[in-house]
Every structure is written in C-alpha cells, then in structure tokens.
Structure 1
C-alpha cells in the first residue's frame, strides 16, 4: 500500500518552502467553509511560516482515501489536516497523527468543549486532534405543515409521528439514504435512539475483536423506521440516492406543503441566503415558517441521539514542521476562529462559550443556538474504531437499498457480515 501510495504521490508532493524561502505548513481542508478557512490560514500565518490551503474532495470517504495514501507513504508535506471525526481513531492507531501533550492537550479539551466534540479527538488516552467546529442534525420542518397535521412540535416527536404527519398532508420526509457515510449516520442515530449501538461501546476500541451488537431490538427498531418511511407516501422520489443536498429543495417547492427534514447545521444559513431565490423561501413570511426541533425519537419516550459530526484538526506525524503545525492547529481552532466559521459559514462551534457570543445571537435565533449546543453535548457518536471505514462500508452494503430494509432480517444479516469483515472472513 505504501509503495502504491508513493507512486501516486510522485508528481504531487508539495514543497516545504514558499517562493520567498519561508517554510510552508500545508493544511488539507474539506470544501466546507473555504472562504473563512482561507482567511484563517492567512491570519494564523506568522513570520516563521505560511499556512497554505490544499483542497480535499467533497466526499468524506474520498477525503480519507487521499489523506491515507499520503500518510501511508510517510508524506512529509502533509502538515495539517481537517478530519471527519470518525477517522481520527483510525489515523491515530496507524501512527499517522502527532499527539498533543501536556498543557496543549489540556487546553484543547477543557471543560468549555462540548462533550460530543471532545470525545472525537481522544484515542488510547491521548489527544490526537483539535476540535474546530462541531456538527449535529436537527429536525427542520415547515411550521404550517406540522400545524395542519396536528403535530405538537413543542414536545418531542417520534419518527413514526413525523412520517404520519407528512403523509397525511401530502408532504415528504427528507433524509440521507444513498449508499454512503450519510446513510450510516442515520442508521447509527436510529439505533442509538432505541438504546443500542452498532458495536458494544465497551469493546469498540478492541478493533477486530469488538462485539457486534447491531442485531438487537434497537437494530430492529431502526430498521422499522427506515421500512416505514420507504413504504410511505412521505418518501421522496430519490430516497435511495438522497444526500444532504437533494432534499433541500423540497422544503420550499413550487407547490405543495413542504417537508420535514433531518440535516446538519448549515441548513438555516442556506435558506437565509436563498431568501427570494429559486429553492429558497419566497419572502420573510416563508422564512419564518421554517421550524426546527430536536432530532426525532426512534422509540417514544426514549431521548433521541442526534448525530455528531464536524471537523477536527490533526497534525501529520511525518511533517517536517510538527511544532509549527501544532501552533497553527491551535490558532485555527480558537474561540474567535470558531465564531467566524459559525457566522460566515454556518459551521457551529465545538466550544460552549462561543454560542453566547453576540455575533452568533445576531446571526441565528437564540433557541436554535441552544438546540444545536444541547444536541452536540448529548448526541451520539458513530463507533470510535480504528476499523471504522470497514464498519461503515459493511453496514452500507447490507442496509442499502432502504427500500429493501426488513426489521426481521436486515440487522441479523448485517451483524453476520460485519463480524466476518472484522475477522477477515469476508471482503467488502
């Protein structure tokens, strides 16, 4: 693998020095928030080094692949990287990330960092990344649709209630159910919302020996929700290929009552920016008809577990500029940096105190900020395993297509396949 990666990188390795001879700290970012991240790179550059942005692909899976190839080849130009939280454990376990230690580590995950975000950067009792921004999903909906269906949104609602409400009024339910990471996010949150897990949390760090627990009452409850939506009038036509972007337009269709939709924090700013434009609210009244509530319950009476996402900043173990890269990582994750990302890009802070900043309260409704903060603090992470990529792919392969999910068979089949994949008896 390393040899193949080295060949791949032959023409793409980056210079360690800029045109003026000053060292360059290369920062690989995902496409979210490019403008603000570029500004942060300039602001955090110093007399000793410049931070240079390198753009990763849009897909989290493709981001992992590109970074893994570079790091497996011990690429010294991979200094700083924006990591989906689910890949921190894998990269740390492989020895590809330089840990933060002492006072630096303590400062990166102090009591101000929301619990859901702080947990994502830990592996083997060490801190391997700096939380930059945190993400979670809430239930977005048209207030007029919920009201017409008689659904009280001041109280927790279940997936069954949401599907029934949308179906009764000719509305739809938007989710992420293509065969990709977003679908696993939904499956994982449904299972955790029913009190279960894909893997036993007490054994998940045992890697290939982790106990597979997806075949459970919670797994069956999750499958029942997917089956119900797929068979309902509320299913959107592109359910089997749906992603974070496809369902946005169904909130404000040319005609019809709109939708309920589970999605990430960027949604609010998306519709604000689309005010009066195609795909967005026609006017201020339509924007005010946009509601938001806690992620739906899988089982009535059991608190939901909203997804945890975001970006953590890791430092490459083979970097020639480890010290400067760590300084840069601390700079691009300060409360000030997090506030800029939230206001400009809709990427929410990993620190609780930043939600109280005046700039955020001017940009977002106060109750929405509280909902996001509470959801991140009490949400459910995906399995924190060095083998997460294989786990995710195995789940996708047995739960897709959503139109074929069966509570009586899908959890059982996926459990067997996942055990076989982890033990090396089956290939993805």
Structure 2
C-alpha cells in the first residue's frame, strides 16, 4: 500500500489504546475466524496491524464455518470462571451475539476510541449486536438478501424487473425465463437442509407472507395458513422452474449455477453480488441486475439480515489488546486499506454509513441495492404480527439452531418429493412443539 495511507492509518486515534500494550511485555492474540474470502484477506493484511502495534502478536485459527461455531461456542461457554478462554478474538454471527451477550460470554465494546465512530455503523446492523444499549461485537461485514437476475432473459421475456418486486412478478418471471431444453432455469433457491441454508431463505420468505415461527406465547405456527402458502409457493417455484436436484443446493451450488448462466433469477445473500459480476468468475457478469427481495403487500419484504462480527470472549486474558485488533479490523481505515489493495468492489460491505456515502463506492453496481436491502430488514420487528423473538431469518434463542435444522430437513424432504407440503408442515409443528416443551417454554 502507499506510504500516505499507511501514515494516515498509523496516526489514527485507533492506536490510542496501543500505549498500554507497548508498556507491557508482548502479548499474543489467538484469533478464531471463518475460512471465507474476506476473513482470509484480513489475515493476509494483518502485518499492517502488527506494524502499528509492535507489542501485539497474532496467531490465527482458520476453520470451516460449522467447525468454527462448534469450537468457539464450547470455548466461550466454559471459559471465564472455570478457565481462561482459548481464543481472544472470535468471528461470530448475528444469531449468536445477543444469546452469548445475555449469558455474559462476551466483553462489551463501549470504550472503543472516539475515532472508531460507532455512530457510523448502519443502525440495522448495530441494533442486532446491541443489548441494553451496549455493543457486544463489531461488524466486519453485513448482508441482506436480494434478487439477482439476468437482464437479458428478462428483456427476452418481455418483462421489466422493478426495484421492489412482488412474489407474483417473481412467479411470472420464473415461468417466462425457464428453458429447460437449454438448461436455463427461471429461478434458483436454496433447498439444502439447515438452519443457515433453506431455513434462512424460507423464514425470510415466510415473514413477507405474514407467517411467523411462534406466536406471542411461543406456540409454533407451522399449522397456519401463511406458512402453508409460503411452503406451497416455494415448492411450486423450485419444482416447476428450478434446476434438478434442488433439494441438495445451498448458497455455493446456486452461486455456481448462476455464474454458469443457468439461473434466470437467484434470491440470496447480497455478498454474492461481487462474485456474479466478476467477469473472471461469471459468464453473465455484464447482464446481472439487482432488486429487493419480494413482498406480498403486507408491509414486510423477504430480506434477511446477517453480519459476521468480531467479538471478545469474557475469558480472554488480553482484553485491551483484543479491543485494539477489533477496532482496527472493523474500522474505516481498514476499508481504505482494502480499497487500496483490492479495489472498492471487494471492501467488506454492509456495515458503515460512510462507505455508502463514498462517491467511489457508489460506482460499484450493487452498492445501492445492498444498502436498501439491509435497510429493508428489521430484526427487532421481523414479522407482520407480533412475536416474542428478534431475528429475521432466525429466532434469537439458543434452541433455534437445533430446531431450525430439524425443520429444514422436513422442508428439504418436501422439495425432494419424499413428503407432501402438508406433511412437512405437520412434522415441523410437532418437532418444534416437542423441542420447545423440552426447553421449558411452555407445558
């Protein structure tokens, strides 16, 4: 990177915390992170941090998402009073942060330097990481979901995609763009079972249909008309206009299909935008358009909300040094570092208002729609009718990870033709009622 940016970063008040570390013996921070591209890039640039903080060394533990979640959860749950935490900084998602904070497993981040500018964080992202006015994790990148579509196929079908489409238009467009003889499918949606795979998509879709996981008394709602409409329409879309074997397709599989030109539309994570518009990776890079996730006119769209964040386990013995790293890795200066080295399209998206005010970033074709998609999601009030939980594509309770996976298996089985939609919903109702009873939510 050039000397001017390095000097500016070195002078920033984010280094104000460094004095404590420099006055002490060198400390080593152990950082547990997920093995996605953004996090690997952060690791490759971490020499910039250690150059500014010579009293701090970094040790990286990079893991696949499911393994990371298991190891980190075990560590933070058993550290503190019983033993020191194995990790000093952990990559944690929006689902875990409020649960872990409520258990006292994370260190609050209320004393980051003024120049970190907490107020610059997008409210939708910040609110999901804040409990009783305290910030418990700093967002590295944020995402929602949106419609990614082939502009050439829409034009060929004689249709126009608005910025805010309805589900009815999505159904019409999926039918019009499907050409199975040439392996072009009108729509690609997640079918792979899992609380972070098909359940994430279907929960967000269900919100827009007026469905909810639980009523205000924590009674499961899969036997409701809105859930029947949600699952029926989803199955009709994917069965009639989706690719074969869709019950096995998750984010990565649908990304590959879209890049190969086999999907007319794909409704999925906004972070996919940089991959589908990269001409080195996508055969349709110059034909991709973007729109908000669909709605049904009920006041809620099918936009979800997620962030990968950096948190500090309460059992860490190097909290001050860990705060310095978290502040650096999620700062405006880090964004400038990525832009300088990788280009604006590759900066971590979805966390700061200032990024979307930047004229250079506004030139990125998906920047505006990503921001609008994030702002369309409301984790505090995710559904049409009142609910006792927060979270858009998940329910922020500890039991949801297990329950969501069980329900996802039922929905995937329905897509594979192994059970009917009605049977899948009936099974989901019974399974969820059983698990919530065991957990003590009701008798």
Q: Same fold (TM over 0.5)?
A: yes
| Residue 187 of structure 2 corresponds to residue 186 of structure 1 | no
Go from structure 1 to structure 2 and tell me whether the alpha carbon gap of 1:231 and 1:116 turns closer, same or farther (over 3 Å shift).
same
1:250 positional shift: 3.0
> What is aligned with 2:431?
417
> What is aligned with 1:329?
326
| Residue 217 of structure 2 corresponds to residue 217 of structure 1 | no
Q: Describe the superposition over 1:133-163 as per-residue Cα deviations: whole angstroms up to 9, x where unpaired.
A: 1011211111111122232212532334324
- Which of 239, 242, 245 is 1:238 aligned to? 245
- Contact 1:30 1:56 (C-alpha < 8 Å) held by counterparts: yes
1:211 positional shift: 4.2
Go from structure 1 to structure 2 and tell me whether the alpha carbon gap of 1:49 and 1:249 turns closer, same or farther (over 3 Å shift).
closer
Report the secondary structure of 1:174's partner residue: coil
> What is aligned with 1:280?
282
Q: Describe the superposition over 1:89-135 as per-residue Cα deviations: whole angstroms up to 9, x where unpaired.
A: 3322343212234x549998944322321122134554321122101
Following the alignment from structure 1 to structure 2, what is the Cα–Cα distance between the partners of residues 211 and 339? 48
Structure 2: 5+ residue runs without aligned partners? 1-24, 379-391
Q: Describe the superposition over 1:325-380 as per-residue Cα deviations: whole angstroms up to 9, x where unpaired.
A: 12221221112324556836463131122112244234x12xx2121111112215
User: Equivalences for 1:17-416 in 2 at 5 Å?
Assistant: 22-32=26-36, 33-45=38-50, 46-57=53-64, 59=65, 61-74=66-79, 75-101=84-110, 103-104=111-112, 110-123=118-131, 126-154=134-162, 156-169=164-177, 170=179, 171-172=184-185, 173-180=187-194, 181-200=196-215, 210-232=218-240, 234-253=241-260, 258-273=263-278, 275=279, 280-281=282-283, 286-297=284-295, 299-300=296-297, 302-338=299-335, 343=344, 345=346, 347-362=348-363, 364-365=364-365, 368-380=366-378, 381=392, 382-403=394-415, 404=417, 406=420, 408-416=422-430
Following the alignment from structure 1 to structure 2, what is the Cα–Cα distance between the partners of residues 145 and 383? 36
Go from structure 1 to structure 2 and tell me whether the alpha carbon gap of 1:117 and 1:106 turns closer, same or farther (over 3 Å shift).
farther
Q: Describe the superposition over 1:55-82 as per-residue Cα deviations: whole angstroms up to 9, x where unpaired.
A: 021x3x3321121222344252310011
Following the alignment from structure 1 to structure 2, what is the Cα–Cα distance between the partners of residues 425 and 388? 11
Report the secondary structure of 2:95's partner residue: helix
- Contact 1:198 1:213 (C-alpha < 8 Å) held by counterparts: yes
Following the alignment from structure 2 to structure 1, what is the Cα–Cα distance between the partners of residues 361 and 70? 34
* TM superposition score normalised by structure 2: 0.77
Q: Describe the superposition over 1:23-47 as per-residue Cα deviations: whole angstroms up to 9, x where unpaired.
A: 1111111122134311453333313
Report the secondary structure of 2:120's partner residue: coil
Report the secondary structure of 1:316's partner residue: coil
Following the alignment from structure 1 to structure 2, what is the Cα–Cα distance between the partners of residues 237 and 397? 18
Go from structure 1 to structure 2 and tell me whether the alpha carbon gap of 1:96 and 1:107 turns closer, same or farther (over 3 Å shift).
farther
> What is aligned with 2:11?
none
Report the secondary structure of 2:87's partner residue: coil
- Contact 1:183 1:396 (C-alpha < 8 Å) held by counterparts: yes
Following the alignment from structure 1 to structure 2, what is the Cα–Cα distance between the partners of residues 39 and 301? 45
Q: Describe the superposition over 1:210-263 as per-residue Cα deviations: whole angstroms up to 9, x where unpaired.
A: 44344433322221222212331x111131011112123333547x7x421112
Following the alignment from structure 1 to structure 2, what is the Cα–Cα distance between the partners of residues 344 and 27? 26
- Count of aligned positions: 384
Go from structure 1 to structure 2 and tell me whether the alpha carbon gap of 1:216 and 1:374 turns closer, same or farther (over 3 Å shift).
same
> What is aligned with 1:16?
none
What is the aligned-residue RMSD (CA, Å)? 3.1
- Contact 2:189 2:242 (C-alpha < 8 Å) held by counterparts: no
Following the alignment from structure 1 to structure 2, what is the Cα–Cα distance between the partners of residues 69 and 252? 37
1:310 positional shift: 2.2
Go from structure 1 to structure 2 and tell me whether the alpha carbon gap of 1:154 and 1:272 turns closer, same or farther (over 3 Å shift).
closer
- Contact 2:335 2:347 (C-alpha < 8 Å) held by counterparts: no
Go from structure 1 to structure 2 and tell me whether the alpha carbon gap of 1:34 and 1:126 turns closer, same or farther (over 3 Å shift).
closer
Following the alignment from structure 1 to structure 2, what is the Cα–Cα distance between the partners of residues 394 and 423? 15
Moved more, 151-160 or 320-329: 151-160
Go from structure 1 to structure 2 and tell me whether the alpha carbon gap of 1:267 and 1:287 turns closer, same or farther (over 3 Å shift).
same
Following the alignment from structure 1 to structure 2, what is the Cα–Cα distance between the partners of residues 43 and 210? 48
Structure 1: 5+ residue runs without aligned partners? 1-20, 204-208
Go from structure 1 to structure 2 and tell me whether the alpha carbon gap of 1:145 and 1:221 turns closer, same or farther (over 3 Å shift).
same
